[in-house]
Amino acid sequence: MAAAAAAGSGTPREEEGPAGEAAAPQPQAPTSAPGARLSRLPLARVKALVKADPDVTLAGQEAIFILARAAELFVETIAKDAYCCAQQGKRKTLQRRDLDNAIEAVDEFAFLEGTLD
């Protein structure tokens, strides 16, 4: 009876797993305006870059999307860290030295050392 009341109330309820415990709620796809792009980077360009690698023979659309999203997150992260370096210098405009400082300060960016020379 309680399950019928919960189901009829219009509120979502957690479903129980096989052992009787509540299952984790499933993540929902982000709702966005119609026509909004899921990726900010042009997927055709990302696909062209992937195809330029001689070691890659096949790349599905899902893989291209994931690579584009990873690149977006990477650029966002390094830009935020570089902006923090600019703020420490009492500036709002990013400069090359801010990127250099972010690369030196964050261990995850160690692979980039010497690439901006």
Domain locations along the chain? 43-112
Class of CATH domain 43-112 = mainly alpha
The pTM assigned to this predicted structure is: 0.63
10 Å Cβ neighbour count for 102?
22
Angstrom distance (rounded) from CA 80 to CA 78? 5
- Torsion of the alpha carbons at 35, 36, 39 and 41, rounded to the nearest 10: 80
- pLDDT of amino acid 65: 96
The residues near 94 (Cβ < 8 Å, ≥ 6 apart) are 79, 82, 83, 86
Q: Calculate mean pLDDT across residues 40-69.
A: 94
pLDDT, tens only, 8-25: 444 444 444 455 555 555
